[in-house]
Amino acid sequence: MNIVRANPEQLFEYGPFTVRRQRPGAALSPLVSVDLMTLKLDARIPMQQHQDEEVFTYLWRGSMLHQDSNGERTALSAKRVMVVNAGEGVQYEESVPLYEAELLQAVIRPAQPGGEAMTQVLERDQGIMSNGWTELAGPEESDAPLELRQEAYIYDTLLERNQTLDVPSQPGFIAYLTVLDGVIRIGDQRLGRGDAVSGLDAGTLIEGDRDACLVCFLIKPDQA
């Protein structure tokens, strides 16, 4: 088990943006970065070009507006999760016109470069499910609602205090679990907001210490 604790060196604050960047490391190399972000009201990330990236955007509090270069607008919240398969290239901007937003944004390297750019949205009326994992995204050949062009799965849950869950697992995949909010316990270790852990064995038990919002990535390491 490898725990990465939240620390001030991970935290970047400028204007209305607060970003805590996690770099999962070489063992999870397709998972390039995981950013935990707070965007204050009226924050705006200007139009940027993205290419050969799978960009996963997940809000657990507040709302955000995603707009591509064609003017297509998509509102995101805890009830609407997005994956942008950037492929050969796409431009978009993001803004916070209504409520302060707290979100996770992860970049996954696709298995192959190129391909048509695509934007996918998962709508779920009930929002984040409590005390059970929801599969949000997975490889193209899987049954996951959002497709990733990589051998990777993404799950979420709201783990309530004193409740327990096994970590998601699949043969050949490594779990990377990040705590967005709240506090959990794994064995004798206590993890809080901004902490992450990898290298968990299948069947590892997670216990809610305080109600905790969790996202878990399953990544198949590069075989090279």
| All structural domains of the chain | 10-219 (2.60.120.10)
Write the pLDDT tens digit of every residue in 37-69.
Answer: 999 999 999 999 999 999 999 999 999 999 998
How sure is the predictor about 28, in pLDDT bands with cuts at 50, 70 and 90? very high
Report whether pLDDT(224) > 70: no
For residue 128, name the pLDDT band (cuts at 50, 70, 90): very high
Tokens of 113: 């470069």
Q: Is the pLDDT of residue 223 over 60?
A: no
Q: What integer is the mean pLDDT of 171-185?
A: 96
What distance in Å separates the CA atoms of residue 158 and residue 185, rounded to the nearest whole number? Answer: 14
Mean pLDDT of 187-195: 95
pLDDT digits (tens, 9 = 90+) for 110-122: 999 999 999 999 9
Q: Given a cut of 80, is residue 9 above it in pLDDT?
A: no
Q: Nearest to residue 213, comparing CAs of 191, 183, 170? A: 183
Mean pLDDT lowest among 12-16, 28-32, 103-107, 147-151: 12-16
pLDDT band at 7 (very low <50, low <70, confident <90, very high): confident
C-beta of residue 145 within 8 angstroms of C-beta of residue 83? no
Using alpha carbons only, give the angle 121, 124, 125 rounded to the nearest 5 degrees.
Answer: 135
Say what percent of the chain tops pLDDT 70. 99
Q: What is the pLDDT of residue 14?
A: 85
